[in-house]
Amino acid sequence: METELRKKLREIKVRKDVMLLYRGRVILDARLAKILEEVERRGSLLAAARSQGISYSWVWSKINRVEELLGEKLISVRRGGSKGGGAVLTDVGKELLNLYMENLTEGRMEPRKESTLAGGYDPLLEKVVETLRDRMDLTWSGSLGGIAKLITGEADVAAVHLYDPESGDFNKPFIDRFWLSNSVTLIRGYDREVGVMFRKDVGLECVYDIIEKGLRYINLSPGSATRLLADRILIMEMRRMGLEETDPSKSVKGYDVQVRTHIGVAKKIVKGEADVGFGIREVAESFGLGFLRIMWESYDFVVRKESFKKPSIREFLDKLKSEDVSRSASELRGYRIPDNVGEVIS
């Protein structure tokens, strides 16, 4: 019969970490590397600290110490003003983070998590899985990228918001289109506002203005559902304008410049490197940008049937139905929670 001690020993997990040292002093460990990663993702040191449950003063003191050791800045902070405050990694900060991540990957130090969720970027989803991050890997790969990972077995769940113009429906038509009906289940998620983000001094009134005024556009990467929607909207506008050329890459200024997430789009606009781009209301308003709504979209979850046996997947699905999701959605902008959230819809 297994002793109580042996049962406890079986639950112990060994985890190794990578640390970067400079002249014998630690300048980057897992905790600070995660902060730098979140600064790059969120564009704010305060938001990065809050996302990890760490005090802003602790983070600031650690970064200051490293900057003093290296004699280089890791983060560039922009104070308030008309465009709002924020923070970005300097070239040195990016190089350090890249070096850390390369060694983390090469050394296979990060233990494999129990489950993986991949799909289109969403701030509310970040909040939903916050307490599961030690067991669930969250990857922003775009909706189509998430489905691709499902097909290859690299992901357990794909977060999708794919619009089908023929049926006017979201997500469900793509289950059959990718021959996934027998292997996955579509779970209802929530709705969010998607549209055009723009600098307020641009004064955008309609999508037509992007082409007519020659505004500088920032695009999302292929595989993004928002990019697919944006392409359809832009082509419709070009046809409505009676243009012979309906290829957005030839009619929309900056179309070929791409970033991975809605936050990446917002950052480019705030920095003055672009005037407009597609994204969701929460991101637009977080960065002090104007927002022109195109539609409410359904952000749902495609789950591999064999993954339902994983505890972290079951816990994730339970959380979708909880009051926590409604509370988190109320703290953000441009979200609404349907009555059938967390239920099987296909």
Burial of 212 (0-12, 13-18, 19+ CB in 10 A): exposed
Alpha-carbon distances of 16 from 22, 37, 278, rounded to whole Å: 20, 19, 40
Q: Does an H or E element contain 262, and which?
A: helix 262-270
Residue 127 near residue 55, CB atoms below 8 Å? no
Q: pLDDT digit string (tens) for 40-54?
A: 888 889 888 888 778
Res 83: pLDDT: 43
**Which amino acid is residue 303, in one-letter code?**
V
Average pLDDT rounded to a whole number, residues 140-168: 93
Q: At what angle do helices 323-331 and 311-320 cross, to 10 degrees?
A: 60
Average pLDDT rounded to a whole number, residues 283-287: 95
Res 84: pLDDT: 44
β-strand pairing of 258-259 with 169-170 = unpaired
End-to-end CA distance of the chain: 45
Q: How far apart are CA 206 and CA 293, in angstroms?
A: 10
CATH label, 114-346, candidates 3.40.190.290, 2.80.10.50, 3.40.920.10, 3.40.1440.10: 3.40.190.290
**Which amino acid is residue 251, in one-letter code?**
S
* Domain residue limits, the chain: 11-106, 114-346
Say what percent of the chain tops pLDDT 70.
90
- Report helix, strand or coil for 3: coil
> Is residue 110 predicted with pLDDT exceeding 50?
no
Token pair belonging to 171? 């997500």
Residue 262 near residue 270, CB atoms below 8 Å? no
Residue 238's pLDDT band (cuts 50, 70, 90): confident
Res 10: pLDDT: 59
Average pLDDT rounded to a whole number, residues 177-203: 95
In which region does residue 276 sit, left (phi positive, over 0), alpha (psi from -120 to 50) or beta (all else)?
beta
Q: How far apart are CA 232 and CA 234, in angstroms?
A: 6
> Is residue 327 predicted with pLDDT exceeding 90?
yes
Q: pLDDT digit string (tens) for 205-224?
A: 999 999 999 999 999 988 89
Token pair belonging to 184? 């996955």
Residue 256's pLDDT band (cuts 50, 70, 90): very high
Res 287: pLDDT: 94
Average pLDDT rounded to a whole number, residues 63-87: 77
Mean pLDDT of the chain: 88
Res 252: pLDDT: 94
CATH architecture of 11-106: Orthogonal Bundle (1.10)
Burial of 46 (0-12, 13-18, 19+ CB in 10 A): middle
